[in-house]
Amino acid sequence: MSIVITIDGKEETVEKGEFLLTVLRRMGKRVPALCYHPALKKPVGACRLCAVEIQTGDKPAKIQRACIAKTRPEMRVITEGDEIRAAQSRAMNALLTYAPQSKALFKLATEFGLDTQPPPDGCIRCHLCYRVCADLVGASALKLEHREGRPYIVPIPGHCIGCGTCANICPTDAIKVLDHDNVRTISIRDEIIGQHPLERCEGCGKLYATPKFLTHIEQRTLPVHPDVKEHHNYCPTCAKLFSNRVRRLS
């Protein structure tokens, strides 16, 4: 039996009892859906992405899933709008709790302009990194910043000295230290905290520390230990080794 329904303000002749999403797809309407497939006879509405606004007769309009809604007389359908997009965004974020790193989900969200919560970044916001950087190291290279209502640990440009203490204390390995081609890069997520050349130990030849770190330590210890000795760049292992030799000879 053919009936006339209204879709986005335009009358369309369809068969009564057809699944609405099938009709919308046939018309070329862009409605997101992941759990729908035309080869399967009975949809289940599991992903909830295909939200549209449906009104029948004088009844109040409601956001419903197009894949399980069937066409009926006096049906009026709207496929775009703020409430519809909000419902689709909620459905997308629910799916992302199951598959937070899914590239397919983020691609679909981008295609349909759906708002998504930031994906997990490994950081549990324990504050250890920026506290140790400020209170113990004294570099204050990190800060807590709110972005779209969520807290993030972010770098303060130019403050990192490359010591790597933040990465060592991080309980979830969210902060990474990479030494490559004589350069140390410290990063959190896709943001670089600091990037520094590495000094070579005069004893064993190992690359062991950044110039900024060595200068920082020198400045912090200078008031307590006057600078009267000859300077050498020794890694902790060699410094201890040479110190033990001096003690044995004295």
CATH of 2-112, one of 1.10.10.10, 3.40.980.10, 3.40.50.2300, 3.10.20.740: 3.10.20.740
- As given in the structure block, the two tokens for residue 167 are 């990465």
Q: Is the pLDDT of residue 75 over 50?
A: yes
Return the closest-CA partner of residue 197 out of 217, 178, 215, 182.
Answer: 182
Single-letter amino acid, residue 232: H
Q: What is the pLDDT of residues 15-59, one digit of tens each?
A: 999 999 999 999 999 999 999 988 888 899 999 999 999 999 999
Choice between 183 and 201, residue whose per-residue pLDDT is larger: 183
HEC per residue, 110-157: HHHCCCCCCCCCCCCCCCHHHHHHHHHHCCCCEEEEEECCEEEEEECC
Q: What are phi and psi of 54, to 5 degrees?
A: -125, 135
Q: Is the pLDDT of residue 171 over 60?
A: yes
Q: How many helices (H) and strands (E) does the chain have?
A: 7, 12
Return the closest-CA partner of residue 238 out of 215, 211, 209, 217.
Answer: 209
Interval 176-203 mean pLDDT: 93
Q: Give the lowest-confidence range in 135-144, 164-173, 214-223.
A: 214-223
Percent of the chain whose pLDDT exceeds 90:
69
Q: Is the pLDDT of residue 239 over 80?
A: no
Q: What is the pLDDT of residues 127-152, one digit of tens each?
A: 999 999 999 999 999 999 998 778 99
Choice between 247 and 184, residue whose per-residue pLDDT is larger: 184
The ranges assigned to domains in the chain are: 2-112, 128-249
Q: Is the pLDDT of residue 233 over 80?
A: no
Phi-psi sector, 85: left (phi>0), alpha (psi -120 to 50), beta: alpha
Interval 104-108 mean pLDDT: 94
* pLDDT for the residue numbered 220: 77
